[in-house]
């Protein structure tokens, strides 16, 4: 293969006996396993210094078990499963004409998914099997151009894209948009980025979004950042027309802003502090009390009015002279005007330490803690361990232990998480 051609392939296989999706501490006992096979490739050809064409894609076959809404029942087979096959392809071309760099891509994605729920005696009589099949696809065509402006480092980026989403037995949806973005220095100490985009969604209507961001280098080792922008999210076809869907759902709108400062100590470390604010309208969520879709366990629904969130993030990194690196991050979030659907923990803390040895071995320990959590969930702390060692110039052996202290905790009320999990293997490049 010559230097003008790039070609890579990868294959992965995962199989897990799993654990009960509904929390084992609530009396659930059936393990919900998962297995999947994935193949992927990437190929590119550099026709000349200004033109590259390529194709990449993947194929995946997966199967997983899940629990009934009411949890595991003694005497039933527990054979509720979701199987899926999916593939994706992307063809692209990057080329330069005159002073403009162009990127064009065409993407195709398809998913075939079937969920089968087996409602068995003694809870249900007679035996009922409910099958939910979803066959969907997305096709997207995009173009982007970029060019330098003037002699002071300004750059203009512009483009357009259109994406069609389809789902069997549902209406189709198309999202098309165009955008312009400019990045420019203002003097020697300030960089400015501004963008505007216009989208048109076939079901949710038109929307104009924009963002302005700036960086001020107050000193060589001190940066001040600020940004403000808005956006939207249209309801998905599944949220609109699926078995739990609500066709009357409208789009979510949001406005966000942040202001931060960063202190640097060369390549040794940094410390950042950022204040943030988010204001969202008409959030979409799952309402367990709703029966408008005809289901007894809830439907997708919309929260009228605003949901507001504000907070502060701190993060830092520092490397000692001996090669030990410490990292830390803390986020405080005030769910100011809460709908209860998108609340996050008030306090999230992450700490880490990593070191390397002369043999090439690296070892790291990390801690993650959450407190004052939404929905009255209790606080929790987990610790993870990771070690790797080069076996050859091309291969690295690794060991990873997640939830080292084997803590019990929930991310969603009623649903369990993995206990201590050990992963070992070898990664190699050829």
Give the pTM. 0.85
72, 220, 291, 292, 293 from 296: Cα distances, Å: 18, 61, 6, 9, 9
Flag whether 331 is in a domain. Answer: no
CATH number of the domain within which 250 lies: 2.40.170.20
Instruction: Quote the domain boundaries for residue 256.
Output: 5-310
* CA separation for the pair 359, 290 (Å, rounded): 60
Distance of CA 152 to the CA centre of its chain: 36
Flag whether 45 is in a domain. Answer: yes
Q: 409 and 278, same structural domain?
A: no
| 218: three-class secondary structure by DSSP | strand
Torsion of CA 423, 394, 45, 61, to 10 degrees: -20
* CA separation for the pair 230, 251 (Å, rounded): 13
Q: How many domains does the chain have?
A: 2
Query: In sequence order, what are the residues at sequence separation of 6 or more whose Cβ sits closer than 8 angstroms to the Cβ of residue 321?
Result: none
Flag whether 401 is in a domain. Answer: yes
Q: 222 and 166, same structural domain?
A: yes
* CA separation for the pair 203, 200 (Å, rounded): 9
User: What ranges make up the beta strands (E) of 187-298?
Assistant: 190-201, 205-219, 222-233, 252-265, 269-281, 284-287
Flag whether 421 is in a domain. Answer: yes
pLDDT tens for the 430 residues of the chain, in order: 678 999 999 999 999 888 888 888 777 778 888 999 999 999 999 999 999 999 999 999 999 988 776 666 665 556 788 999 999 999 999 999 999 999 999 999 999 999 887 765 555 555 667 788 889 999 999 999 999 998 788 999 999 999 999 998 888 999 999 999 999 999 899 999 999 999 999 999 999 999 999 999 999 999 999 999 999 999 999 899 888 899 999 999 999 999 999 999 998 999 999 999 999 988 898 888 888 888 888 899 988 778 889 999 999 999 998 789 999 999 999 987 666 666 789 999 999 999 999 889 999 999 999 999 988 899 999 999 999 999 998 899 999 999 999 999 999 888 889 899 999 988 887 7
Query: Nearest 5 degrees, angle CA 69-CA 169-CA 129?
Result: 35
Flag whether 339 is in a domain. Answer: no
Flag whether 183 is in a domain. Answer: yes
* CA separation for the pair 42, 38 (Å, rounded): 14
Encoding tokens for residue 199? 């989208």
CA atoms within 13 A on the CB side of 218: 9
């Amino acid at each position: 293969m010559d230097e003008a051609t790039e070609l890579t392939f990868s294959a992965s296989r995962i199989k897990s006996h799993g654990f009960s999706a509904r929390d084992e501490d609530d009396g659930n006992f059936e393990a919900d396993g998962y297995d999947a096979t994935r193949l992927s490739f990437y190929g590119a050809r550099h026709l000349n210094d200004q033109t590259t064409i390529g194709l990449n894609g993947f194929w995946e076959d997966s199967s997983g078990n899940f629990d009934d809404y009411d949890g595991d029942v003694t005497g039933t087979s527990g054979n509720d499963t979701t199987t899926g096959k999916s593939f994706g392809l992307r063809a692209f071309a990057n080329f330069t004409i005159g002073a403009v760099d162009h990127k064009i891509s065409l993407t195709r994605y398809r998913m075939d998914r079937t969920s089968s729920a087996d409602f068995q005696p003694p809870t249900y009589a007679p035996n009922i099997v409910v099958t939910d099949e979803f066959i969907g696809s997305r096709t997207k065509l995009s173009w982007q151009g970029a060019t330098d402006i003037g002699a002071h480092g300004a750059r203009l980026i512009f483009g357009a894209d259109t994406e069609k989403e389809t789902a069997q037995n549902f209406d189709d949806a198309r999202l098309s948009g165009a955008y312009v973005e400019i990045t420019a220095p203002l003097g020697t100490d300030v960089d400015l980025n501004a963008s505007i985009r216009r989208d048109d969604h076939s079901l949710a209507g038109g929307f104009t979004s924009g963002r302005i961001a700036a960086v001020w280098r107050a000193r060589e080792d001190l940066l001040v950042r600020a940004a403000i922008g808005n956006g939207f999210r249209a309801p998905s076809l599944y949220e609109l027309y699926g078995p739990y869907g609500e066709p009357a759902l409208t789009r979510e709108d949001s406005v966000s802003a942040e202001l931060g400062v960063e202190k640097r100590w060369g390549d040794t470390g940094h410390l950042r502090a950022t204040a943030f604010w988010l204001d969202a309208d008409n959030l979409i969520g799952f309402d367990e009390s709703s029966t408008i879709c005809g289901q007894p366990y809830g439907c997708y629904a919309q929260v009228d009015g605003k949901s507001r969130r504000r907070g502060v993030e701190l993060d830092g990194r520092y490397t000692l002279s001996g090669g030990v690196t410490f990292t830390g991050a803390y986020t405080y979030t005030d769910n100011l005007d809460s709908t209860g659907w998108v609340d996050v923990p008030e306090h999230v803390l992450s700490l880490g330490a990593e070191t390397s040895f002369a043999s090439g071995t690296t070892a790291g320990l990390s801690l993650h803690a959450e407190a004052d959590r939404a929905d009255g969930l209790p606080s929790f702390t987990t610790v993870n361990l990771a070690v790797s060692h080069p076996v050859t110039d091309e291969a690295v052996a690794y060991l990873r232990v997640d939830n080292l202290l084997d803590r019990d905790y929930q991310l969603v009320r009623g649903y369990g998480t993995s206990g201590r999990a050990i992963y070992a293997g070898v990664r190699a490049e050829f």
